[in-house]
Amino acid sequence: MQQNVVMRIFRELHENSDDPLRRKDREEPSPTKDEGDLFIHRPSPRKFRVLLDVEHLQHDMPHAQLFEALVGHWRVFSLAVEAGTIVSTDFSTPARSGFLKVCHTIAAAGGPVYTWSSNDKDEHPDGSSTTAAYGFTQPQMQIWETVQTYRRLERRDRGAFRLNDAVTQAILAEVARDAGFDLLVSESPVAGCRLLPVHDRVVVVSRAEAVPVLAHYLRRQHIFLSGRLLNLKHSRHNYYEQAVHALAPALRGWEARVAAAGSTSEVGVDVQSRYLTAISRLARALESRDDIIWSLGSYLTAPVREDCMDDFDHLLLLLCGGVDVIARGLHVALGLDPKNVQNAKLHAQWYITNVGNRFSDRPTETDDLAELDRLQINLRVIFELRNSIHNVQIRSVPALGSLVGEGARRTEAPILAHVTADIAAKISRIGSDVSTEWGFQSTYGGGAVADLWLIADKAVATTFRFLDLLSRIVLRNPLPDSASAVLSGQIPEMPERLTPWEGYEDHLPTLLGLPSPHPG
C-alpha cells in the first residue's frame, strides 16, 4: 500500500525579525527590487535563490532532470558550494563560475568568521544585475547550539553523522542565510536530521524535496510549466485541470463511458455535466492548496493567518463538493431513483449500499475494495472537518511545543489547526487509529490540534486517490442494460498511458508534491 509522503513546504524563517533592515523591508517592500521576503504581494517578484551542496548528492535521485530544469529557470538563481572547503584559508583564488566560495578567517572576538564570495552575474526581474557579491558571517552562537543539541540527541538520531558534520552544516546554513539564499539543498545524512537547530535558521531540503517547492514558486508567478524538461506551457486554468487528471487518471473513463452510451441521452447529459463540475471543483481545490502553501510560507502576520484559514476552508469545501458531485453523478449512472439523488453521499451509508455491497461479490475487486473502504474512512474525516466550518470550529494556533503533550513530533507548518472537543470526539469515533493517522493530539485546554499542512495535504491526497480508485472499480465492472444506460455494455477502450502532449506523462504529481496515482 502506498503511503502519502507529505510535501515539505518552504517557510520564510525570520529568526532575526528584530533586525531593523529586515523589518523595514517587510513593512515597506520595494515594488521592483529583487530583495526582501519571497512570499509577498508586489508588482515585481524577486527571484528564488538556491545554494546546492554538490559534495553530498545521491546518485539515485529519480527527478534530477526536473530539478536541473527548475534551477535553470530565469526566475531562479542558483550557485553550488563544496561543504568540505569551508575551512579553507585561501583568499587568493577567486570564486569559480557557478560556485560560492567560503573561507575561514582568524577568530575574532565574536568567534570564527567565514567570508563568502561569488563572481556570477545575477540578473534581476527589474532589468538590473549584480556581477559579484561578498560578505561574512560569525556563526559562533549557532555552532554552540549545534554542539549542545548534538550531545543531547539519542544515538539512533545521530548515528549516520558526526559532530563535525553537524557543525559544518550549521556554518554552511549561516553562510547561505547571510548570502541571501532561500534554500540550502543538501543530501548529506546530517541534513536529514530535523532535530538540529539549523532547521530553525534555514530551509534545508533534498533535490527531490526542492522540486515541488520551486515549482510552486513558479506557479505563484503565473508560470505553469510541465514536462520532464519543463518545456510544456499551460494556462492557469488548463494546468490545474490537467493536474486533476494526472492525479486521478481513471476519472477520464467517465468521458469514455458517456460517449459510448450517447452523450445526448438524458442520463448521459446529466452524468457529463456533473463530471465536468467535479473536475472544476477539484481543480480549484488544487489552487486553494497552492494558496495555503503560500500563506504558510509567508511571514505570519494576522492577515496572513486569516487568509490561510480562509484557504483551508475553501480547500475542504471544494474537495467535499467535488466528491458530492461525483456521488450524484454515480447515483444517476447506476440507474437509481433520480428523486433521491440528494441522498447520494460517498462518506455515508449510501457508499456501503451502492458501492461496497454492489461490488463485494467480484473476487477481482477484493483488494481494491478493501483499500477503497480504508480511504472512505479518511474521507469521513474530511467531511467532519468540512462540517465544522459551518460552526466556526476550526481555528489557527501557533505551533508551540507547550500546546501539546510530551513527545509531539516536529511540526511542518508554523501554525496548527485546532478543533473543539466535540469535533475531535466525532473524528475519534470514526475509527480507533484515525485521530493518530491524521496527527491529532489532545490539548491541555480541551479539543485537539494537528499540523495544518499535514491535514490539508492528506485531505487532497486522500480525495484524489479515493475518486481514482472508485472510478476504476465502477467503470471496469459493467452493469446489465436494464440497470444502467451509462455503465452497461462493452467497456470502452482507454489507452494505457495518456499522450504526453495532453500533459499527463509529465510529472505533474511530482511538481505538485503529491503522490503519483497507482497503476490501474
Sequence spans of domains, the chain: 48-223, 239-402+411-512
pLDDT of residue 404: 39
Nearby residues of 39 by Cβ (< 8 Å), 6 or more positions away: 12, 220, 294, 297, 298, 299
| pLDDT exceeds cutoff 90 at 344 | yes
Separation of alpha carbons 470 and 254, rounded Å: 11
Placement of cell 583564488 in the chain:
93
- The total of other beta-carbon atoms located within 10 Å of residue 151's CB is 9
Q: What is the mean pLDDT of the chain?
A: 86
End-to-end CA distance of the chain: 14
- The letter for the amino acid at 106 is I
Shortest CA distance to 246 belongs to which of 13, 22, 464, 479?
464
Torsion of CA 146, 150, 151, 157, to 10 degrees: 170
Continuous segment of H or E residues that includes residue 134: strand 133-137
Q: How confident is the model at residue 220 (pLDDT cuts 50, 70, 90)?
A: very high
Is 464 within 8 Å of 278 (Cβ atoms)? no
- 492 vs 433, more confident: 433
| Tens of pLDDT, residues 275-289 | 999 999 999 999 999
Separation of alpha carbons 133 and 30, rounded Å: 20
**Beta strands 48-53 and 183-185, pairing class:** parallel
Continuous segment of H or E residues that includes residue 76: strand 76-81
Q: Which three cell numbers stand for residue 318?
A: 471544494
Residues in the chain: 520
| Tens of pLDDT, residues 224-236 | 998 888 988 999 9
Cα 455 to Cα 200, 345, 385, 399, distances in angstroms: 22, 22, 10, 14
The pTM of the full predicted model, rounded to 2 decimals, is 0.90
Separation of alpha carbons 331 and 342, rounded Å: 9
Paired with 479 in beta bridges are 488
pLDDT of residue 351: 96
DSSP 20-65: HHHHHHHHS--SSSS-S-SS---SSPPPEEEEEEGGG--TT-TTHH
pLDDT of residue 273: 94
DSSP state of 407: T
Q: How confident is the model at residue 502 (pLDDT cuts 50, 70, 90)?
A: very low
Q: Which three cell numbers stand for residue 475?
A: 467503470
Nearby residues of 261 by Cβ (< 8 Å), 6 or more positions away: 267, 268, 485, 486, 488, 489
Q: How confident is the model at residue 403 (pLDDT cuts 50, 70, 90)?
A: very low
